[in-house]
A and B are shown apart, each in its own frame.
Chain A
Amino acid sequence: MKHSVFWKIIIGLTIVLTLAEAGLLIFLYQYTYDHTIKDSTEDIKFAASSSALALETYDPDDLNDFIGSEDYLNDVCSGLGITYLYVLKPDLETRDELYLARGWGGNASEEYINHRYSGYLAKGKLRDEQIRVMNGEECVVIHEKNEYDDTLICYTPVKKHWSKKKQTTVNEIKSMVCAEISIKSVLANFNQKYLRLAAMVVAATVVILLLTGIILYFRVSKPLKRISGRMKGFISRKGTNFEKLPVKGKDEIAQMSDSFNTMAEDIERFISDLSELNKQKAELNIAQNIQRGLLEKQDYKNGDVTIKASMMAAKSVGGDLYDYLLLDNGNIFVTIADVSGKGVTGALFMARAITLLHQYAKLGYSPAKILYEYNNILAARNSNFMFITTFAAIYNPNTKALTYANAGHNVPYVISDKPEMLNKDTDTAAGVFDDVTYSEYEIKLKDGDVLFLYTDGVTEAQNKDGGFFGEESLEKILLENKNAGAQALVNAVNDGIKAFANGAEQTDDITMLALQINKNNAVRLHLEAKPENLEKINQLISELNVDEETRFNLNIIAEEVFVNICSYSYPGSTGNADFILNAEADKIEMTFEDNGIPFDQSENVIEIKNYDIDNAVGGLGRFITFSMADDYSYERVNDKNVLKIIKNIKPTTKKRRAENEH
């Protein structure tokens, strides 16, 4: 309560009003008093001077004559409101004064009226002011104020007098007139009125304060309290229906209530929008996960090619896709596509598209046929009229030929000496018109060449000024990184785009796929699968530039694997085996291929740690092989056993010593 604005206003108002009233009343009293003094001074001056003129016809030495003037003096007193009016004949030497005549007005005291003054000698009472008057000063006014009274006195000389003795008027000051007004009496009436006025003002103040308080309390304080109470409980009471505040009139409180109602409605709408948004976001996340889940791993490498793909998804779900597949005949299928729509619809369309592309590629279709069938299926059920630009290609590592077809997609680059676009005659984007015939083109690639696929998210990446990344920047980066390999190339383009965008929001998926034709040092031996041919394999291994220990291990691995092929792959018959030796800087890759029965030598290798001849000898060779191999893989491809074994090359002795010196 102490801190209530209401009470602060009431107390403040009380103090201000009281001070203002006190000031006003004091000023009023002072003003009235000053005016009374001024008016009374005029009155006594006039009374005294007019009396002095009238008294010139009396003889101050004849007391009985002077008494005759008292009726006149009384008339002056009552006419001008003078309290006392009397005539004195002072003796300047003795300072005595003799009362000659007197009159009085309405306020005179009983004591004065009852006293017989004529002929009364007041000894030694003469004042200096009176002496000045006797010496000819026209008029002297004294304001006498003490605890009993507040009096104005005016002394005026009677300048001539009648001399009975001489029977003539003598120009000599022998007497003076004194006029007195009791200010207290004059003000008595005013004081009464003044007190009544003050009481009225105080009463009015109290009434005003009470009224203000009541109005403030009911029109401001209470509604404010209601608003604040409603605000406090707004969120905690959520769930119950929001009760609007009453809006009465058009004042600030009403406006505030109205604003609060609007705000509350806005907040309620905002909260419900927010939960709706969260729901949408969750759906989007699910769609995004589905989309990502459908994409192949970003890195792939076999003896023939290296693939690096990348997708930087925009905030919302985009419709980009990439895919690759090692086909049964050893060929490699790559594709990239961009759905026209975004969001969940786009993602679902993308999901259909990638499944179809993958399946048709798996069936062994050519790129043009893949796109033809794919387009027909998509176009048949596409009520939203979405379309999808698609590039599909198949690389044959044996002939090094790339066959491709393009359904309206950004024309990919082949980077050999410099980035060059493939055939720019693209066909219709897929998904809208059925029965479209797609043209198929072929290009021969060389070792080290890179096929670079991308979506328009790359060239149309924007910076904050709205500028586009563009083909020129892309080609520049491709040229600069032409020998860097697929992975570094894709990373360089991604970095280039990021540097260009410089924090601008990404609006579209940015997707790339680089297919690099590996430089192939592999040597292939096509052998009859019989142990005698081990010597040819050993011969090949002996030509390798490796240290003795590695050569020894390679020898053992090759022997064990080859002998196993000879012994088990062709039961009851004979067959062939291919030995492919691929030496790289840091590792040796040995691949064994045979057309025998399915036989995975890397499977169920028994760990031989105990001396147990009867049980262990059968798996001894395989145990040794896979203990020595750094990596290996087995695949059954086209009725062939393909076992690949990798042995890492240790740094040479010379290099190792150099490292130790560091």
Chain B
Amino acid sequence: MNINANLDGNVCTLAVDGRIDTLTAPQFEQTFNEYSEKCDKMIFDFAQTEYISSAGLRVIIIAHRTMESKGGLVIKNLNKNVETIINVTGFGKKLNIEY
């Protein structure tokens, strides 16, 4: 997994390339924590994210709660499989997802 981070003013964009699974989720979480302090609004770009497991979902939820009190979290460019997982859990209704 590679994460491409981009800081534009107070908006951060984390573009994840590859799998977010049990093994890579900690790295994703760490990157998020690093950038969440630097910006008000967070964007997860999952265009290149082919896989996400519950470990990855956990990071998304932590990110969502962290950003709630600030500018919020936006998730965009979900591929179909990842979107299905998010919807199965019912999180889809709560998360701010851009299509």
Contact = CB atoms under 8 A, between A and B. Distances in A.
Interface stretch (B3-11, B36-44, B54-62, B70-78): B54-62
A640 to B, nearest CB: 23
Given A611-B91, A611-B93, 15 more contacts: A534-B22, A552-B81, A555-B51, A555-B53, A556-B51, A559-B21, A559-B22, A563-B55, A613-B61, A613-B62, A621-B53, A624-B53, A624-B54, A624-B85, A628-B88
B85 A611 contact: no
B69 interface: no
A548 B79 CA distance: 12
A24 interface: no
Contacts of B90: 608-611
B57 A620 contact: yes
Interface in A514-569: 531-532, 534-535, 548-549, 552, 555-556, 559-560, 563
A66 interface: no
A212 B93 CA distance: 110
B49 to A, nearest CB: 12
Q: Give the contact-size bracket for chain B.
A: 20 to 34
A531 B53 CA distance: 13
Interface in A576-631: 608-611, 613, 617, 620-621, 623-624, 627-628
B23 A532 contact: yes
Contacts of B58: 617, 620
Interface of A is mostly: helix
Contacts of B81: 548-549, 552
Contacts of A628: 88
A556 B23 contact: no
Given A560-B53, A613-B65, A624 B22 contact: no
A560 B61 CA distance: 17
Interface residues of A, number: 24
A187 B53 CA distance: 144
Nearest to A613: B61
Nearest to A621: B54
Interface string A326-342: 00000000000000000
A138 B37 CA distance: 181
Shortest 7 CB-CB contacts between residues of A and residues of B: A621-B54, A611-B94, A609-B90, A552-B81, A620-B54, A563-B22, A559-B53
A608 B51 CA distance: 20
Contact of B89 (A549, A555, A608): A608
Interface in A620-657: 620-621, 623-624, 627-628
A563 B80 CA distance: 24
A627 B88 contact: yes
Interface of B: 21-23, 51, 53-55, 57-58, 61-62, 65, 80-81, 85, 88-91, 93-94
Identify which of A549, A556, A617, A621 gathers the most chain B CB atoms within 10 Å of its CB: A556
14 contacts: A531-B23, A534-B23, A552-B81, A555-B53, A556-B54, A559-B53, A563-B55, A609-B90, A613-B62, A621-B53, A621-B55, A624-B54, A624-B88, A627-B88
B85 A556 contact: yes
A617 B55 CA distance: 9
Nearest to A627: B88
Contact of A534 (B21, B65, B80, B88): B21
Contacts of A621: 53-55
B36 to A, nearest CB: 16
Nearest to B50: A552
A186 to B, nearest CB: 139
Contacts of A532: 23
A389 B23 CA distance: 60
B1 to A, nearest CB: 13
A556 B85 CA distance: 9
B47 to A, nearest CB: 16
A556 B57 CA distance: 12
Contacts of B57: 620
Contacts of A559: 21-22, 53
A559 B52 CA distance: 10
Contacts of B53: 555-556, 559-560, 621, 624
B54 A560 contact: yes
A175 to B, nearest CB: 160
Contacts of A548: 81
B73 to A, nearest CB: 13
Contacts of B94: 611
Given A548-B81, A556-B53, A560-B53, A620 B23 contact: no
Interface string A443-472: 000000000000000000000000000000
A218 to B, nearest CB: 100
A532 B23 CA distance: 7
A611 B23 CA distance: 24
Nearest to B80: A549
A552 B23 contact: no
Contacts of A534: 21-23
A620 B22 contact: no
Contacts of A563: 22, 55
A43 B96 CA distance: 157
B80 to A, nearest CB: 8
Contacts of B88: 624, 627-628
Contacts of A555: 51, 53
A613 B94 CA distance: 12
A535 B90 CA distance: 28
A609 B89 CA distance: 6
